Structure 1
Amino acid sequence: MSHLTSRRGLLFGTAAVSAGALLAGCTSNDNKDEKPAANDQPAADDKPGKHVTIGFAGPQADHGWLNAINDNAKNRAKKYSDVSLEITEGSNDTAAQIGQIETLINKKVDVLVVLPADGKALTQVGLKAMRAGIPVINLDRVFNTPQAYRCWIGGDNYGMGLNAGTYIGEKLKGKANARVIELAGIDNLELTRQRTQGFDDALKNYPNIKKVARQAAEFTVESGQAKMAQLLQAQSKFDALWNHDDDQGVGALRAIEQAGRDDFLMVGGAGALSAFQAIKQDNGVLKATVLYPPTMAASAIDLARALGQAKGIGGLAEFEIPASITLYSAVVDKDNVDQYMPTGFR
């Protein structure tokens, strides 16, 4: 069993049963006349079953997290001898991605896993697949209507900001007139607004803390460095920084080092391997990162396989997979970083 399976419990937040038990323990519903009682222990089902062809379509992997999404999907599919993966090249052009998904529909794949470049723009092609009898796992960026997918699985952007703000709040709760700043992602994305809202809501619980500055970057190393340099120049004194994205955080850390600043703590976002390594070394400003786990793509493959084989999820009383699964944005710091290190993406 891979580390992705054994660590699946990391992904599903405060659920009492780990996702490893839920997803690896899929149970067959083939015999509709003899369904097990709700409290029956389902049989584990990593052993081969009906062959399932899964179509996977995502945006262009021009970012560490998106590349990790593709790698997680590919590697997870290889674990199953009864799964074939049809993966598209990936595109940030919505028309091109729609065309790629329509090709998969025409190939009559059994299940589709789609991480849309733009959820709103790709809603119609999700509906087209569902109406063609091809169930869709909508990964992360959600379509406009639940009619366009059978199951949504993705990260918790609001929770990401909430947990980052709470971590910082607890670290600074004994400090009078504490000042924090925020290095956000791309402001025209709903996910960025959700992360900021969660962060701001968390800080409301700490009246001693004031957010004094915010800059939006572009999820790139270059933008992270440039925007962080601007923040450092404008803010001669602050106590904490929350950076939404570990990729742009690489650039932010460069700017911090160049400025010779070490008088604050930094919390990152997403779960890059470089961030985990810096947290473990504990010799710089980066003290924690808040997860947005790309292992959701591996879980999406598990869910697609279960759908294709008409199975539910072991550990739940229901006979069907859930309609939505929101992953938990755990805070990783030096106390638990070793546990999460195998999930870090490059």
Structure 2
Amino acid sequence: MSVLDRRRLLLGGAALGAGALLTGCTSNDAGNDAQVNTNTGGDNANAAPGQKVVIGFSAPAADHGWIAAITNNAKAQAAAYSDVELRAVEAGADAAAQRAALATLLAQKPNVIVLLPHDGKELNAFGLEAMKAGIPVVNLDRAFPDAKAYRLQIKGDNYGMGVAAATYIIAQMQAKGVSAPIIGEIPGIDSLELTQERSAGFRDTLTQAGFRVANRRPAEFTADTGQRAATELLQALPKVDALWNHDDDQGIGVLAAINQTNRKEFLMVGGAGSKAAIEAIAADNSPLKATVTYSPSMASSAISLARLIGQNKGLADLVELQVPKEITLASETITKENAANYMKLGF
């Protein structure tokens, strides 16, 4: 077996292990909609209380439903463990402010730091500093470019989101006999690598089917900017067959623009898997017919894995003695047919 094959096997197993960590027994309490691993019994030796672990945590301000869910999940997961103390610090308005807050956290010398940076490239230096100081860093969602800046990197499959969205659209267009569909795209913040990866997956998959994006209007992961971008796109395209909006929070504004212009001739695919989007898909009374997941449950997994790293343990279902270096969660497609199964994971 080649080194590459072994690496793929390890990462595939890691993704499976992380999935089992959460999806086997999740809680989505109506009070905070947190996605929490409650598997504390049975044969899971890792679940038993062990060495106390102090976990530092930082994520951008919760001005967005997905980010709010990230923070809620991290706090709820930490509270589920009697041997975990979570020390959360405010991230501030930008990377510089987050860096200052993290410097204070680093001085407290927690056992592990879980960090969703404003920007992975700009906070890479902090990851290197913490790792050099002997504090393992769990890099969440927005990737550090330097592998030495993190002990574990856990994120969603951004390229896979684009692949999943395009695959759904291609299948629907082919079923309708539309050979040259007019396809629109509303991404999030264009400067972020994750947005670029999502668009690349979407574009590459469409190209393989002989399709292309006719018009692309970036938004900024908010309802207001989603409404603006959708209005501009619909004005530019008198006819649309399909639309992919990268983010369900900004999708609220996209749907508002669609209603205002009374444009219902196309199907829309969302991104992330918000509860509102899943409910709309299940109701089947709008152009939104599917969404591709990018679940904030990754924050719950990050806390669980940070705990294991702090206790020098591995994943129970893997042969390896340590938590893997990288975990990428798969992007799944939610449609009317399976919406009920995913409702509990909406945020």
TM class, shorter-chain normalised?
0.7 to 0.9
Give yes or no for contact 2:58–2:91 (8 Å, CA) kept in 1.
yes
Q: Distance in 2 between matches of 1:17 and 1:327?
A: 9
Tell me how far 1:259 sits from its aligned partner: 1.1
Secondary structure at 2:82's aligned position in 1?
coil
Tell me how far 1:131 sits from its aligned partner: 1.4
Q: Distance in 1 between matches of 2:108 and 2:221?
A: 35
Residue 258 of structure 1 is aligned with which of 253, 257, 260?
Answer: 260
Corresponding residue number in structure 1 for 2:152:
151
Match status 1:232 vs 2:234: yes
Q: Distance in 2 between matches of 1:72 and 1:17?
A: 20
Residues 14 and 308 of structure 1, relative CA distance in 2, 3 Å threshold: closer
Secondary structure at 2:196's aligned position in 1?
helix
Give yes or no for contact 1:278–1:284 (8 Å, CA) kept in 2.
yes
Match status 1:199 vs 2:202: yes
Residues 125 and 341 of structure 1, relative CA distance in 2, 3 Å threshold: same
Give yes or no for contact 1:61–1:90 (8 Å, CA) kept in 2.
no
Corresponding residue number in structure 1 for 2:244:
242
Q: Distance in 2 between matches of 1:325 and 1:242?
A: 26
Residues 123 and 294 of structure 1, relative CA distance in 2, 3 Å threshold: same
What CA deviation, in whole Å up to 9, does each residue of 1:255-291 have, x standing for no partner?
Answer: 1011112111000011111101100101110000111
Structure 2 counterparts to residues 81-96 of structure 1, below 5 A: 81-96=82-97
What CA deviation, in whole Å up to 9, does each residue of 1:79-134 have, x standing for no partner?
Answer: 10111100012223222211211212111111100111111111121111111111
Corresponding residue number in structure 2 for 1:44:
45
Give yes or no for contact 2:15–2:329 (8 Å, CA) kept in 1.
no
Give yes or no for contact 1:54–1:112 (8 Å, CA) kept in 2.
yes
Give yes or no for contact 1:23–1:314 (8 Å, CA) kept in 2.
no
Give yes or no for contact 2:185–2:216 (8 Å, CA) kept in 1.
yes
Q: Distance in 1 between matches of 2:13 and 2:271?
A: 19
Give the total of aligned pairs: 318
Residues 52 and 128 of structure 1, relative CA distance in 2, 3 Å threshold: same
Q: Match for 2:18: what amino acid?
A: A
Give yes or no for contact 2:187–2:218 (8 Å, CA) kept in 1.
yes
Corresponding residue number in structure 1 for 2:136:
135
Tell me how far 1:16 sits from its aligned partner: 8.4
Q: Match for 2:149: what amino acid?
A: A
Q: Distance in 2 between matches of 1:24 and 1:51?
A: 25
Identity %: 52
Q: Distance in 2 between matches of 1:276 and 1:18?
A: 26
Corresponding residue number in structure 1 for 2:301:
299
Q: Distance in 2 between matches of 1:196 and 1:88?
A: 32
Residues 18 and 145 of structure 1, relative CA distance in 2, 3 Å threshold: closer
Q: Match for 2:119: what amino acid?
A: D
Tell me how far 1:21 sits from its aligned partner: 3.8
Q: Match for 2:45: what amino acid?
A: A
Q: Which runs of 4+ in 1 moved over 2 A?
A: 12-25, 42-45
Q: Distance in 1 between matches of 2:181 and 2:304?
A: 45
Gaps of 5+ in 1: 1-11, 26-41
Tell me how far 1:47 sits from its aligned partner: 1.7
Corresponding residue number in structure 2 for 1:175:
178
Corresponding residue number in structure 2 for 1:31:
none
Tell me how far 1:24 sits from its aligned partner: 10
What CA deviation, in whole Å up to 9, does each residue of 1:118-172 have, x standing for no partner?
Answer: 1111112111111111111011111121111100001111111111001100111
Residues 90 and 16 of structure 1, relative CA distance in 2, 3 Å threshold: closer
Residues 185 and 112 of structure 1, relative CA distance in 2, 3 Å threshold: same
Give yes or no for contact 1:180–1:210 (8 Å, CA) kept in 2.
yes
CA RMSD of aligned residues (A): 2.0
- The normalised TM-score by structure 1 is 0.87
Tell me how far 1:67 sits from its aligned partner: 0.8
What CA deviation, in whole Å up to 9, does each residue of 1:179-208 have, x standing for no partner?
Answer: 21111112222221111111011112322x
Give yes or no for contact 1:23–1:313 (8 Å, CA) kept in 2.
no
Tell me how far 1:217 sits from its aligned partner: 1.2
Residues 240 and 82 of structure 1, relative CA distance in 2, 3 Å threshold: same
Tell me how far 1:210 sits from its aligned partner: 3.6
Q: Distance in 2 between matches of 1:22 and 1:216?
A: 35
Q: Distance in 1 between matches of 2:45 and 2:339?
A: 30
Give yes or no for contact 2:185–2:243 (8 Å, CA) kept in 1.
yes
Q: Distance in 2 between matches of 1:317 and 1:158?
A: 29
Q: Distance in 1 between matches of 2:337 and 2:307?
A: 35
- The normalised TM-score by structure 2 is 0.87
Which structure has more relative contact order (CA 8 Å, sep 6+)? It is 1
Corresponding residue number in structure 1 for 2:188:
185
